[in-house]
Amino acid sequence: MVNIMDTKQSAPVKIDIKNISLKYSDGTESLKNINFKIFANKINVIFGPSDGGKSSILRLFNRLNDLADVTEMKGEVILDGVNILDPKLDVILLRRKIGMVFSKPVVLPMSIAENITYSLELAGIKDKNIHNTAIERSLKQSALWNEVKDRLDTSAFALSGGQKQRLCLARILANEPEVIILDEPTSGLDPISTLKVEESLQELKSEYTIILVPHSIQQAARTADYCSFFLQGELIEHSMGKVIFTNPSDDRTNDYVAGRFG
């Protein structure tokens, strides 16, 4: 692995991935001794071709690998000084701290407002003033407020695809997480909706640490403050986004960014 990092420009570390290796029951070695850092209040892009290890890394961050058929896992994922892979860790609290938005928006069969407050209700927060504040704040943060503020009591199913994706983001933001993971959040969206999501992320990074798996090289280049390129379970290069997309150090990174494979 080639690791270039201008330490003078590096932000504080939010998550430190140390010596992570992961193997599934079918013998697939999904991750091979991975070491890199997720920086606070930045957009941290993880990209590469299919089956490169991106999904396995994302699942580590909020312990979704607990549900997978993993036969071997080594290493640590340190969040604010705590190894989140510790079996004794409260996974529910972890998933409130690290929220995840998937590529396909899944809205709940209830109103727009209830989609936002559902997780607050599950957490035992019943205060309507807190609910109302969370609804407005999270919808504004996800750039959806102006489009839905007059129909909060209508079904979320009536929203467009792009609006549903931003509602899923708002639902995560209502919990006030510290880290937001987005797995190809604009893969099925039109260019205008994609732009709105990307603009939201640029604003959100002042308050949150963002981990993004983009749906294209172009999106990676537009959004990345820091970038990690994965290939066949290996971390090939980890650097500032402007370095990886203008002057990568590894020929494999250069070939992928240039579109020669993938």
Domain of 198: which CATH number?
3.40.50.300
Looking at residue 5, its pLDDT comes to 52
Number of structural domains (the chain) is 1
Do the domain assignments include residue 77?
no
Do the domain assignments include residue 72?
no
Please measure the distance between the N-terminal and C-terminal CA atoms of the chain and give it in whole angstroms.
19
Do the domain assignments include residue 33?
no
Q: Which residue, 16, 47, 38, 9, is CA-closest to 179?
A: 38
Q: Which residue, 73, 74, 71, 4, is CA-closest to 37?
A: 4
Looking at residue 212, its pLDDT comes to 97
Looking at residue 6, its pLDDT comes to 46
Do the domain assignments include residue 49?
yes
Asked whether the beta carbons of 57 and 230 are under 8 A apart, the reply is: yes
Q: Which residue, 225, 223, 175, is CA-closest to 41?
A: 225
The pTM assigned to this predicted structure is: 0.91
Looking at residue 101, its pLDDT comes to 92
Looking at residue 152, its pLDDT comes to 98
**What is the span of the domain harbouring residue 212?**
2-10+41-56+90-228+236-257
Give me the tens of pLDDT residue by residue for the chain, a chain 262 residues long.
555 454 445 689 999 999 999 998 877 778 999 999 999 999 999 999 988 999 899 989 989 888 777 888 899 999 999 999 999 999 988 998 999 998 889 999 999 999 999 989 988 899 999 999 999 999 999 999 999 999 999 999 999 999 999 999 999 999 999 999 999 988 888 899 899 899 999 999 999 999 999 989 999 999 999 999 999 999 999 999 999 999 999 999 999 999 888 6
Looking at residue 123, its pLDDT comes to 85
Looking at residue 68, its pLDDT comes to 75
Cα 70 from Cα 244, distance rounded (Å): 32
Do the domain assignments include residue 213?
yes
Give the total residue count for the chain: 262
In what helix (H) or strand (E) does residue 196 lie, and over which residues does it extend? helix 191-204
Looking at residue 7, its pLDDT comes to 41
